[in-house]
Every structure is written in structure tokens, then in C-alpha cells.
Amino acid sequence: MRLFVLFILMSIFSVSYGKNIKLRDLPKELSNYYPPKSEKMEFVELMHTLSVSITGVVSNIKEGDWQNAEKWAKRLQENYLKIGKMVKKWDKLLKKEDMEKLVNAVKSKDKAGSMEFVQNISKSCVQCHKNYQLSAKIKFHSPNFNKTQIEDPVSGLEYSIEDYMKAMTNDMKMMRIHLIDGQKNKARKSGFNFIKRFEGMTQMCKDCHTTKKDEEIYFGIEANKRITALREAVANGELIQIKKQLKWISQNNCSKCHNVHQTLYLLKERFGSK
Amino acid sequence: MRVIFLLFLMFSLGCEKIEKIFLEEDILDRPPSKRCSECHTKIYSQWKDSRHSVAWISEDFIKKTENRTKTKCLSCHAPLEVKAVKKPELRNKLREEGVNCFSCHYRGDTNSIHGPYRVFSPPHYSTYDPDYISSKICAGCHEKTYLKWKESGSVKNCQDCHMPAKKERLIQKFPFTYFHSKKNLHNHSFPSLKADEKDFLINFSIKQNFILMKIKNIKIPHTIPTSQQGSPKYYITITGYKHNKKILEERFMLTPKNGLEPKKWKSFDLFVDDKPNKISIKIDRKLSWSKKKEEILKKDFYFD
């Protein structure tokens, strides 16, 4: 009996801890409506239009403004049907009949009927978002780092982003190791290489972060001060100062950027290339 | 004979009426730049060789903007109207011409061609615009370079260096070529120019195993390298020798973000196990759109 209870409990726990996120493959045609194939994010724009339209329908029904409700219902129908034209695979998932019925219910000022069809249509939106929104966000709404090449200021070679990061973090670690081991000259070399590579990162960041305000976030006045202080500390082999400056840089540069970009990058690496 | 006839017309009708008789209205409808070449042949051929003419079709631009989808970059690569210290709007037609004749010279509000001269130009209306002899006209797109230039307090403006002038006729087509006296014809190929040794002061000091190298940009009134968005680079290679034996090799890469600002010293720290008696410095550059490095200077320094 005890064994049976244990088995049941284990099953429950294994189920509750076994939630895996499944990233669904997106229909290929969808990429026609996002950069780089399209100059605009046309599919997202369509989603926004639909969202506004459905709110327009519901709010006008609630206020009893049937004329405007009809206008928004027709707009909703027109744009809802565009989904199937843009992505054929999704055409069969659309509730076209309910859409037609909604327009008619609004025309005949049938409040209960209208709200019922609005709900049915909304369900199709929710279902589709549940299946595909996360995949679309990862694939189309995050920068593509996998083709990024950065010129390494130390070796003069072109590195992938991963190799560049490895080289840079290795410099940082080696600087600390050499200092702790009492090898000041080697520590300096690693430290200066780290600084060169850290500053060299701006080659990549500035491609997207173009304004002065953007720059201030990823490499502003304070970051510059810290780098100057770090350079001095490295030159003099002052471990405490080095740690202090590195701590600031890791919190305000490394972590900030990683928190924004790294998770999406890792997901995209696994999935986004499809 | 034609000139005499024109002069006769000018006297009898006055300039205003002549302007209307000879007005070619399509010029004021932002036609392809080739249309301008019918009269301004020299300027057109210079522009054809410029980076401005390939601003929209440059491979590097297409790659960096992920097939021109980074929308905030686009307007400077195919601007509708370039105005002083104002980011332009993106135009809809003829984007492949990049920064073309009409981007810089046509203004919708005056329906005329703007430029640095007061001229009688019957085929199109013209407006004298002092912005064209000021760096401000470049600032809408080259803002970062402009701000550094402004800080430098230089008396030379952008055009002095990047649009060098030669006394020539603005127009090559007869009879209009004789409508104006020879004027300063500014080079529309916008040469990027190349710094050389006289533009820098270089200083080394050695204390035990610590070498401090300092470089000052003394002549160029903006950061080098400079760009709004591109990736031009300077490379500094330091080689140290002790009795002809190489004991040090160190390189530094400068980008517009950490480049040589006008009239400011920039320091570089180097460490050596042994004190060198000769240090060679070599500076190269790579323009944003080029894969080729070009030598800027090479110099040796000797120490006791």
C-alpha cells in the first residue's frame, strides 16, 4: 500500500515538474512578413489591427452604438481573413463562419449573439498565440547574433560572438589568476587584453543602439570612468581596485546585456535557425 | 548669336519672364539625377563616384541593416530633403540613387534648387542658401562627426576638406554655361581624405618596464576614425626592439567610439620585460566600406 502511495506521489511530482516548453515550428511563409524578407513587421501590424478592431466591436456593442460596432466588425472580418491569405497553413484554423455570424449579429443588433461569436473568435486567437507566439517572438523579435562577426582588437582576426566572449572572459579570469599567483606582468597583459576586447564590443552594440541615450546604457560616461580606473588598477596590480571596477562592469554591462539578450539568443540558437 | 538673342530677351522682358519661358518643370519634380547631368555634367560625374551615390545600394549597408530593415538607418541613405541639423525623412522614389542631387539641393517649401550662390538659372528656380557654406548642412546625417567638429572650434568647415573647390563653370551645357562667371565648384565626390604624419604628435616615455605612448590628433578637426554608424578603424601596431631583437609587439584598434579626438592626447599603456632601445609605430586605417588597410604613418623612436 505504502509503495502504491509513493508511486502515486512520484507520478504527481514527475508530472508537475515535467513541464517542458515546446517551441513549435512556424510556417515558413510567416517569415515573408518579417525582416529581413519584409521591410516591415507586417504580420505584427495585422495582429495590432485585429486587436484594435475586436476592442472596437466589443466597446461599441456595450455602449449600444451599433453603427460603429458594425464598422469595426467589418474591419475585423476583413483583417481576420487576411491571416489565412498570408499563412495558408493557418487558414483552416480560422473561424470564418463565426466571423460571418458576428457581422450578421451586429447588423441585427443581437447583443447576446454578437458576444458569443466574439468569444468564439477570441478563442481562435488565444489558441494560435498559445501555440506560436513564443516561437514567433524568439524567431522574429530578437537580434540575430549567429552571423555576427567581431574584429578582435588583440589578434586582429574576425571572431564569432561566442569566441569573442570566450576570449574576453578568459582574459578577465586569467588576470585574476595571475594576480593571485603573484605574476604581475602576465596579469597586466591579460588585463589590458580584457579592456581592449571590452571596448571592442562597441563595434557590435552600436549597430543597433545608435543614439546617445542608447550608448549611455551600454557604454556611457560611468562605464568609461570605470574602464579608466580598471586600466590604472591593472597597471599598478591592485587586486582590490580591480575587483571593485570589475564588479561594477559585470553588474552594469555584462549582466544588463546578458539579461536582455542572452536568454533569447540561446533559445534562438536552438530553434530560430529553422 | 543665341547668347545675343537671350540678352535681347532679358532686356526686353526682364529676368522673371525669361525664367518662366525657359523653366523645365520636371526638374522641380525630383527627377533622376541623370537629368541634372544634362547641364551640371562635372558635378554629376563627381557625385557618381561618391559614396553618397551608393548609399542605398552599398553591400555593407544592406548587410548591416539586415536587408534595409533597420528602419532608423534608412532616411540618411535615401533622404528626401537634407536640411541643416535635422535628420531627414526617407523618400519613396529613386531610393537606389542614395543621397542624390535632389536630396541635398531641392526644397519643396520654396519649390527651388538651393545652393551656395545667387544665380540666374532659367531652367529651374534657385534659392541662395547660406547653409550650404556651413557644416550644419551635413549635420543632419553626420551628427556625431559634426558635434566633435563643433567642439574642436575649427575655422575650416566640412566642405573645406571634403568638398574642395576649384574655379570652374557650374554648368557645361551651351548656352547656359555662359550665364555665370566661373565659381568655386565644390567636389561632389566627397573625398574621405587620408591623414598622415603631420596630423599627429607621438610621444613615448619609458619607466622601467612601463611604456607610456601618447598620441595627439593635432590637425584633423574631428575624431579619427569617425562615422555616424559605419565601422571605420585605425590600427596602431607597436613593435619594440632590444639590439635588433623583437621584444614587444602590441596592437591597438581604434573605432569612432574610442578614436583620437581633436587636440586631445590619448594614452596607451604597454608593459615589457626588458627596456627596448627602439620602438616602431605603424598606424593603418580601414575605411568603413573597405576591406583594405591603408598605411597612415610609420615611425621609429630610439632610446638610450
- Give me the residue spans of the domains in chain A: 24-140, 149-272
Q: Which residues of B touch A39 (CB under 8 A)?
A: 67-69, 71
Nearest chain B residue (CA) to A210: B229
Using alpha carbons only, how large is chain A's radius of gyration in Å?
28
**What count of other Cβ atoms lies within 10 Å of the Cβ of residue B231?**
19
As its CATH architecture, domain A24-140 has Up-down Bundle (1.20)
- Please report, rounded to a whole number, the percentage of residues in chain B having pLDDT higher than 70: 94
Q: What is the pLDDT of residue A66?
A: 97
The Cα A208–Cα A197 span in angstroms is: 19
The Cα A236–Cα A243 span in angstroms is: 13
Contact B64 A39 (CB under 8 A): no
pLDDT digits (tens, 9 = 90+) for A98-146: 999 999 999 999 999 999 999 999 999 999 999 999 999 998 888 888 7
Q: What is the pLDDT of residue B6?
A: 56
Of the candidates A35, A151, A207, the beta carbon closest to that of B69 is on A35
Nearest chain B residue (CA) to A155: B251
Residues of B with CB under 8 A from a CB of A: 64, 66-73, 209-210, 229, 231, 233, 235, 251-253, 255, 257-258, 269, 271, 273
pLDDT bin (cut points 50, 70, 90) of residue B136 is very high
How many Å lie between the alpha carbon of B11 and the closest alpha carbon of chain A? 55
**What is the average pLDDT value for chain B, to the nearest integer?**
92
The Cα A117–Cα B297 span in angstroms is: 75
Average pLDDT, integer, range B3-26: 65
Q: Which residues of B touch A188 (CB under 8 A)?
A: 271
Contact A202 B67 (CB under 8 A): no
ipTM exceeding 0.85, yes/no: no
Q: Which residue has the higher pLDDT, A109 or A267?
A: A109
Pick from B269, B270, B290, B291 the residue to mutate for testing the A interface (most A CBs within 10 Å).
Answer: B269
Q: Is the Cβ–Cβ distance between B289 and B275 less than 8 Å?
A: no
Strand partners, B216: B201, B265
As its CATH architecture, domain B197-302 has Sandwich (2.60)
How many Å lie between the alpha carbon of A159 and the closest alpha carbon of chain B? 15
Predicted model pTM: 0.82
Q: What is the pLDDT of residue A271?
A: 73
Helix ranges (H only) for A108-160 are 111-140
Which has the minimum average pLDDT: B64-68, B233-237, B245-249, B261-265?
Answer: B64-68
Looking at the predicted structure, is the pLDDT value of residue A9 above 70?
Answer: no
Q: Closest Cα to residue A248, out of A208, A221, A211?
A: A221
Of the candidates B69, B209, B252, the beta carbon closest to that of A153 is on B252
Q: Which residues of A touch B231 (CB under 8 A)?
A: 203
pLDDT digits (tens, 9 = 90+) for A35-77: 888 878 899 999 999 999 999 999 999 999 999 999 999 999 9
Residue A94: DSSP 8-state: S
In the chain, the amino acid numbered B24 is E
Q: Which residues of A touch B273 (CB under 8 A)?
A: 185
DSSP chain B: -HHHHHHHHHHHH-HHHHHHHH--GGGGG---THHHHTT-HHHHHHHHTSSGGGTTT-HHHHHHTTTTT-HHHHTTTSBS--BTTBPPPBPSS-GGG-S-HHHHHEETTTTEEEESS----TTS-EEE-GGGGSTHHHHTTSHHHHHHHHHHT-SS-HHHHHS-EEEE-S--STTGGGSS--EEEE-TT-------GGGEEEEEEEETTEEEEEEEE-S-SS-BS--SSS--EEEEEEEEEETTEEEEEEEEEE-TTS-B-BT-EEEEEEE-SS--SEEEEEEEEE-TT---EEEEEEEEEE--
Q: What is the pLDDT of residue B16?
A: 59
Q: What is the pLDDT of residue A274?
A: 47
Q: What is the pLDDT of residue B116?
A: 95
pLDDT digits (tens, 9 = 90+) for A196-252: 999 999 888 888 888 888 888 788 899 999 999 999 999 888 999 999 999 999 999
Q: What is the pLDDT of residue A147?
A: 79
Looking at the predicted structure, is the pLDDT value of residue B56 above 60?
Answer: yes
Of the candidates A185, A206, A235, the beta carbon closest to that of B269 is on A235
Q: What is the pLDDT of residue A12?
A: 47
Pick from A142, A150, A151, A234 the residue to mutate for testing the B interface (most B CBs within 10 Å).
Answer: A151
Residue A31: DSSP 8-state: G
Q: What is the pLDDT of residue A251?
A: 93
Q: Which residues of B touch A207 (CB under 8 A)?
A: 64, 70, 229
Average pLDDT, integer, range B81-104: 96
Q: Which residues of A touch B274 (CB under 8 A)?
A: none
Helix axes A239-249, A161-180, angle to 10 degrees: 150
pLDDT bin (cut points 50, 70, 90) of residue A14 is very low
CATH 2.60.40.10 residue ranges for chain B:
197-302
Pick from B56, B63, B69, B211 the residue to mutate for testing the A interface (most A CBs within 10 Å).
Answer: B69
